[in-house]
Amino acid sequence: MLLNSCTKNQNIVPYVYVDQYINISLPSYSSLNSIGGWVYITGGSQGIIVYRQSYDQFSAYDRHCTYNAENPCGKASVDSTNSFVECSCDSSQYQLYDGLVIQGPATYSLKNYQTNFDVMTNQLHIFN
């Protein structure tokens, strides 16, 4: 039996090497100093959204829309209410917390990157 909704699939978005460190103490990352904060950073296929889930847990995922991923119509962006991530051209919506699909036509989550946070130095490592 095949599952076709709200699934995680890392293969539909092109692989781009990611190995970045950001210091969340810097002013450009100040929104990451509180739980629920997020920022856009460069990297990945279409850019990366970084979201602070808890004191020491972050999620990072590519802004590459997963519906028609071979020919994306644009970058996924956080909506004006900071509630979810949306692809404006196809109206697919993803959870801001983890990039899972809320509403289609997309059936695959946003591509996740691994994160490791050093609380002593305030350095967040984003990598694949």
| Sequence spans of domains, the chain | 19-127
pTM of the shown model: 0.87
For every residue of the chain, DSSP letters joined together read: ----SSB--SSSSPP---EEEEETTSGGGGGGGSTT-EEEES-TTT-EEEEE-SSS-EEEEE-B-STTTTS--SB-EE-TTSSEEE-TTT--EEETTT--EEESS--BPPPEEEEEEETTTTEEEEE-
Top mean-pLDDT range of 32-41, 61-70, 84-93, 102-111: 32-41
The CATH architecture to which 19-127 belongs is 3-layer Sandwich (2.102)
Query: Is the confidence at residue 127, as pLDDT, over 90?
Result: yes
Q: How far apart are CA 64 and CA 74, in angstroms?
A: 7
Residue 4: its pLDDT value, please? 45
Report percent pLDDT > 70 for the chain.
Answer: 91
Tell me: the pLDDT tens digits for 35-60?
Answer: 999 999 999 999 999 999 999 999 99
